[in-house]
Amino acid sequence: MSEMVDRTEILKNKRLILEMKNMHKTFPGVKALDAAQLSLREGTVHALMGENGAGKSTLMKCLFGIFDEDEGDIFFDGKKFKVNNAKQALDHGISMVHQELNQVKDTRIMDNIWLGRFPKKILFVDEDKMFHDTKEIFESLDINLDPKRKVRTLSVSEAQMVEIAKAVSYNSKVIVLDEPTSSLTEKEVSHLFRIINNLKDKGAGIIYISHKMEEIKVISDEVTVMRDGKYIATLNSHEVTTDEIINLMVGRDLTNRFPPKHNEPGEVILEVKNIRSLVQPSVVDASFELRKGEILGVAGLVGSRRTELVETIFGSRHMEKGELILHGKPISNKHPEEAIKNGFALITEERRETGIFGVSNVTFNSIIANIGEYVKGPFLDEKKMVVDTDWVIDSMSVKTPSQKTTIATLSGGNQQKVIIGRWMLTEPEILLMDEPTRGIDVGAKYDIYELMIQLAEKEKGVIMVSSEMPELLGITDRILVMSNGRVAGIVDTKETTQEEILKLAAKYL
């Protein structure tokens, strides 16, 4: 108890570095911000939470001058703050590490950091100074990278580290991280958290956006919850429970994170025998069976070729060797069109890159995988299109002003929900899902699990690749563990433990 009081006291004594008050922003058909507010203290990590479409990114975009708020005030360091673009914000010491990093791939790390303000020696760029300054920042952050390496060769987490180093090089007092850990390994996440704590100790204020509930209590000091563009509450992260945060986010009790399950796996529907894919990184050897009415999880470390496994089955990756047997008959799935004809659907991991038709509306994006169903002679069956799109919007709780809204204007998570709904509409025999709940809020996760269970109850087969241990253990019947391109083991979900899965994941390293 005394420790808690201490923490609250310490928090109270920290100076406010950034205040956003009474923020309003309306888009056609949506009030994205409706009296939103945020108060960030220096030397703290402040989690910003809310369901998909709650207004988190919009609030940040107002801070960076990407959007112009209709009403509201921003104070930075006690002074009124207003910029017109992200570069100006950076010059003032407010920076953002985006999820989609837009670095210049063909340049070196150090060029990226000092772009537009290279140190000069008379007329020339002072390479030595640039190298040593970069090195110094890296050392202070415990980042072990050669400043002369090409950006192209960096992994996602390394590229992110470089962005953070860049923020530090601008002496940033406020750093915004929007879903920074969504594609990091556990080890990379702990490194990132060390860096964040280090920045915080140096006095920076950090705004942290994430849908991973487990992270919030570990990394943040305070949490602000938004709902429907409104400010709901700011709480001390150490005094609030995860369930309380969730209830504030969704505005109702959601004590069970997983829906009840009544599916009963039956006979084998799909046999996968010794498949191997050609292009690196490849599936080396994988065999397993999927049953009717079964939800099979696929676990493994980043790089264990789980995505490659489902892509090979779906035909978007060339199968060099091996067999697929559906309902006892060999099939080939040479390309995705053939797989779709055979009753397969694949919800890809990089939905934003590979799945969205950005300039088109929600209707088009909902029905496109099934377009043949809507052709009636020379016409399109508009009525069926409307009914089916409504189904997608309802069953996935998509937050959109209308069916005709351009999908690119929906929040990141809501775009993803449309893509998932699109494939659910095709009523696949075998549904392959790659990280289906990444970037999706807790309420919508529940909806997705329900749809998976419904499919299983209709005797379909579901394969779900996931990096989230709670959902693997909460929703699947069995879990296949990949390790370095091979199947390291298949375990019964009811009987397994997190430890057993992690051990299998390391089997062929």
Ligand X SMILES: Nc1ncnc2c1ncn2[C@@H]1O[C@H](COP(=O)(O)OP(=O)(O)OP(=O)(O)O)[C@@H](O)[C@H]1O
Chain residues in the site for Mg ion (CB under 5 A): 57, 412
Q: How far apart are CA 312 and CA 133, in angstroms?
A: 45
Which string of x and - marks every residue 36-55 that binds ligand X (by CB under 6 A)? --------------x-xxxx
User: Could you tell which of Mg ion, ligand X, none binds residue 436, using a CB distance below 5 to 8 A set by kind?
Assistant: none
Q: Could you tell me the maximum CA-CA distance found in the chain, to the nearest angstrom? A: 77
Residue closer to ligand X (CB basis): 415 or 476 = 415
Name the residue among 314, 306, 315 with its Cα closest to residue 282: 306
Minimum Å distance from CB 366 to ligand X? 16
**Of the two residues 176 and 269, which places its CB atom closer to ligand X in the complex?**
176
Comparing CB distances to Mg ion, the nearer of 305 and 399 is 399
Q: Which residue has the tokens 């894919």?
A: 277
Residue 245 or 275 with smaller CB distance to Mg ion: 245
CA distances from 228 to 34, 49, 55, 58, 63 (A): 8, 12, 7, 12, 19
Nearest 5°: the CA angle 187, 470, 502 is: 45
412 binds ligand X (CB under 6 A): yes
* Torsional sign, CA 7, 8, 9, 13: positive
Least Å from the CB of residue 50 to ligand X: 5
Residue in 17, 18, 23, 30 binding ligand X, rule: CB under 6 A: 30
Burial of 187 (0-12, 13-18, 19+ CB in 10 A): exposed
Question: Which one of 411, 466, 476, 483 is in contact with ligand X (CB under 6 A)?
Answer: 411
**Which of 160, 409, 437, 467 is close enough to bind ligand X by CB under 6 A?**
409
Cis omega before residue 378 (within 30°)?
no
The answer to whether the beta carbons of residues 109 and 189 sit under 8 Å apart is no
479 vs 465: CA distance, rounded Å: 9
* 293 in contact with ligand X (CB under 6 A): no
Residues 85 and 104 sit within 8 Å (Cβ to Cβ): no
DSSP E strands in 259-415: the ranges are 268-277, 286-291, 295-299, 319-326, 329-331, 344-347, 375-376, 379-380
Q: Quick one: 86 or 325, whose CB is closer to Mg ion?
A: 86
Report what 456 binds from ligand X, Mg ion, none; CB cut-off 5-8 Å by kind.
none
Q: Given the rule CB under 6 A, which of 278-286, 322-330, 405-413, 425-433 is the region that contacts ligand X?
A: 405-413
Residue pair 467/302 in contact (Cβ under 8 Å)? The answer is: yes
Minimal distance, residue 215 CB to ligand X, in Å: 15
| Binding track over 51-80 against ligand X, x by CB under 6 A | -xxxxxxx----------------------
Convert residues 202-241 into a mask of x (bound to ligand X by CB under 6 A) and - (unbound).
----------------------------------------
Q: Which does 237 bind (CB under 5 to 8 A by kind): ligand X, Mg ion, none?
A: none
**Binding residue for ligand X, selected from 6, 27, 87, 197, defined by CB under 6 A:** 27
Q: Kind of pairing, strands 222-227 and 230-236?
A: antiparallel
Which of 181, 304, 414, 437 lies at the binding interface for ligand X (CB under 6 A)? 414
| Residue 412 or 436 with smaller CB distance to ligand X | 412
* Shortest distance in whole angstroms from residue 31 CB to ligand X: 8
CA 229 – CA 33 distance, rounded (Å): 4
Give min distance, CB of 412 to Mg ion, in A.
5
Residues that bind ligand X (CB under 6 A): 27, 30, 32, 50, 52-58, 399, 409-414
